Chain A
Amino acid sequence: MLYEIVELQRFSGPVCTIYSVIPKGSPETLLDEFLHENSSLYGIEVSELLSRLEAIGKSEGLREGYYKSDEGRLGDNICALYVKPAGRLRLYFIKYGNDVIIIGGGGYKGIGVRAWQDDPILSGKMRQLMDYADHIGKRIQKGDDLSWSSDLRYLEGDLNNDYDEEDDQG
């Protein structure tokens, strides 16, 4: 699994470090994809989401009330940002404490859709982020090429991950 983890300059700040992922071969991050897919249809909600991300990174950090927790599998720390409690737009992210998040994709949770499993687009985005959460988590746990900085605020190591286990085994 090849990808680069990048720090989102416009959102990351002194109280929360905000990353996203560029899959290998893609010119843009998962957040950019989300914006391309949703900004024309849900412009106001997307703008509000970005303003919230900016406030999380630069002013208040990640607070429990700001997001819906445990959206993915148990223990993978995937949560969802939303604009209003009753709003339908979801932006998924991996949460590491209250200081670091990695933004993934998301989409519109249509009326009648109770869970992401019921919607093919949301399912695709969620499963994609689950794969990244799993891979990044294992790399951090292993500690060979990815680890936390001493203040636990930054990821350090091979962020432009051009190393693949499958290549190594071959």
Chain B
Amino acid sequence: MTTMKKTTRARLYSSPIIEEILNSIPPVEREKTKNRMVIAARIDDYMLQAGLSKMELSRRLNKRPSEITRWLSGTHNFTTDTLTEIAFELKVTIADLHKSKLELTKQREETVYQVTNKVQINYPITPRYDPATMSTISIASEPQVSYGKQKQLFA
């Protein structure tokens, strides 16, 4: 008979050899690896956004498809010129290609927050009439106009 066992998550694990190897890697080398992978991920994302396949991008940039595969592997050390060509073709900036997934998520969340707050506070469009909060406002009353001066002019 099969019985339900514990319902826990995996325990967190590390080991001396993992620590030893990770601690021996200079932080700048880890950052280089991470940046190569970030750029690869952003190229992949922006290709998708622009509706470009590997084949199409390779044709537009006059490169072999295998080169695009190498770019997307996150192992390629890009030159500024190559990045400029890629960014130009994908209609983004070089800075966009350096933004990590977490940075982009954070940026998106901030944008949504700002837009939401603008709608609530600044009323960029005519607010919907709500009798509960706007009962003292008459939205269909006659404008109050004084005709006194006009009468004097024609008198």
Contacts and interface: CB of A to CB of B under 8 A. Distances in A.
A20 B102 CA distance: 24
Interface stretch (A2-10, A72-80, A113-121): A2-10
Interface stretch (B5-13, B81-89, B122-130, B138-146): B5-13
Interface string B100-119: 11100000000000000000
Contacts of B102: 14-15, 59
Contacts of A163: 5
Contact of A65 (B11, B24, B74): B74
A51 B25 contact: yes
B37 A59 contact: yes
Nearest 7 A-B pairs (CB), nearest first? Answer: A65-B72, A158-B5, A6-B13, A51-B33, A9-B12, A7-B10, A145-B5
Contact of B101 (A15, A39, A47): A15
Given A7-B13, A83-B75, A159-B8, 14 more contacts: A8-B18, A9-B13, A15-B102, A28-B15, A39-B21, A51-B30, A55-B33, A63-B74, A65-B44, A66-B73, A156-B9, A157-B8, A159-B6, A159-B11
B41 A50 contact: no
A13 B29 CA distance: 20
A5 B10 contact: yes
Contacts of B69: 65, 85
Interface of B: 1-15, 17-19, 21-22, 24-25, 29-30, 33-34, 37-38, 40-41, 44, 69-75, 100-102
Contacts of A22: 13
15 contacts: A6-B11, A15-B102, A20-B13, A28-B17, A51-B30, A52-B74, A60-B74, A61-B101, A65-B44, A83-B75, A157-B6, A157-B8, A159-B10, A163-B5, A168-B2
A46 interface: yes
